[in-house]
Amino acid sequence: MKIFADLHIHSKHSRACSTSMDIEHIAKYSKIKGLNLVGTGDFTHPIWIKELKEKLIDLGKGIFQDKIYNQNFVLQTEISLVYTQNKKGRRVHLVVLAPSFEIVDKITNYLLKRGRIDYDGRPIFNISCRDFTKDILEISNNIEIIPAHIWTPWFGLFGSKSGFDSVKECFGDQADHIHSLETGLSADPEMFWRVSSLDKYTILSSSDCHSFWPWRIGREATIFEFDKITYENLINAIRTKKGYIGTIEVDPAYGKYHFDGHRNCNISYSPEESKKHNKLCPVCGKPLIIGVLARVEVLADRLEKYKLTGAAEYKRLIPLIELLSFARKKGITSKNIQTEYFDTVSKFNNEFEILLNVSEKDLKLVFDEQVVELILKNRIGKIEVVPGYDGVYGVIKPDNSNTINKKNIENKKVFSKYQKQRTLE
């Protein structure tokens, strides 16, 4: 069976997250999206872990289910490590998967010796990635550590603000215990393929969602295939690629850090344009926030469009509700858009089924010609996106402009509302 998994989410106890990110909402809306395995998020938080223990049924084999929607969960959290290495401040986010509540309790006890865990679902610790990995794996070698959204500027392994130039530089003698890397919204596997040192890693994609809506949860996901959903099968697929099929990605331009830029100055540049300006903002004169594409260019030892032999397949998919919003020129939270979304999804079981599989003939039974055309273009990665930058999401391209500028977006009020709906990546 195919498993559509989102292995990196947050709960209502993480900063800047919806207060409705509870088990019921996560389970319900992840099913609507088409996921059949989802992370719990935030298992170190004392209130959340208590709720998880009360509301999830242990199926055995490291997989849990909620009692209402029977969604499958795996115990997962994200840790923020902020420290100094080689006289440079480092900030790296790591996703952690665990096989049982017993192991989670041991991880929590370890972290309590190093700081607090009660103030945020994604707690911060002054521990190096190398030391954290060594210490955690001494608890259990069944724990999986996954560097999160590795290219993003602020908290990515390779991020421009505080990152490293290699996995080895970051994890030292523990690097062999890192088996996979998460793309983040602003990157996709093609960008990984340009860096030969990353060939051996399993590429994972997850939403890092802060709200339960289907345009957040599962917007990126990883596809596996095995007979039964177990923690052992999941970890084996991550570590050996056996049972690993590939990923679902948004167009990397959709992510908030694809291009270089300055949000406050409304400046967005490709890496080439950024170099022409000495990576300085022409409006305020301050350094630009250097995005994901530029970091890939720095580390790449292969040409653009390089295709890695034997690489897993992946799909670029913009969420369905974004397509509806674009077609109708209404915000994604408008009542009409949401009504259309949920009515049409209910006819086809889940959103992934519509985006990936429903025939053109059947799509035309429920969608008008414009939306059908967008869905079909979406399947083959032909939806053009104006690149995001410095915390601003990319948007579906409305005209021939190559730079994101509010003056170039049709219906400025819609654009403004559209951007305000965004949450942190």
Partnered with residue 98 across adjacent β-strands are 75
Q: What is the mean pLDDT of residues 283-298?
A: 98
pLDDT tens digits along 67-106: 999 999 999 999 999 999 999 999 999 999 999 999 999 9
For the cut 50, the answer to whether the pLDDT of residue 47 exceeds it is yes
Instruction: Give the other-Cβ count within 10 Å of 165's Cβ.
Output: 14
Q: Which amino acid is at 275?
A: K
The residues spanned by each domain of the chain are: 2-254, 319-382
Query: What pLDDT shows up at residue 398?
Result: 82
Which among 284, 56, 72, 290 has a CA at the least distance from the CA of 161? 290
Residues 364/366/368/372 CA torsion (nearest 10 deg)? -60
Rounded Cα gap, residues 367 and 351, in angstroms: 14
More confident residue, 171 or 403: 171
Please state which of the ranges 60-64, 94-98, 301-305, 417-421 shows the lowest mean pLDDT: 417-421
Task: Tell me the average pLDDT of the chain.
Answer: 94
pTM of the predicted protein model: 0.93
Q: Is 105 left (phi over 0), alpha (psi -120 to 50) or beta?
A: alpha
pLDDT tens digits along 183-205: 999 999 999 999 999 999 999 99
pLDDT tens digits along 260-269: 999 999 999 9
Which among 375, 369, 389 has a CA at the least distance from the CA of 315? 375
Query: What pLDDT shows up at residue 53?
Result: 98
Instruction: Give the other-Cβ count within 10 Å of 196's Cβ.
Output: 13
Query: Mind giving me the DSSP string for 119-188?
Result: S-SS-EE---HHHHHHHHHHH-TT-EEEE-STT-TTT-TT-TTT--SSHHHHHGGGGGG--EEE--TT--
pLDDT tens digits along 8-38: 999 999 999 999 999 999 999 999 999 999 9
For 224-350, where are the alpha helices, taking DSSP H only?
A: 231-240, 271-276, 292-299, 320-328, 335-346
Cβ atoms of residues 126 and 115 within 8 Å: yes
Which among 165, 245, 256 has a CA at the least distance from the CA of 204? 245
pLDDT tens digits along 206-254: 999 999 999 999 999 999 999 999 999 999 999 999 999 999 999 999 9
Domain spanning 2-254, CATH architecture: Alpha-Beta Barrel (3.20)
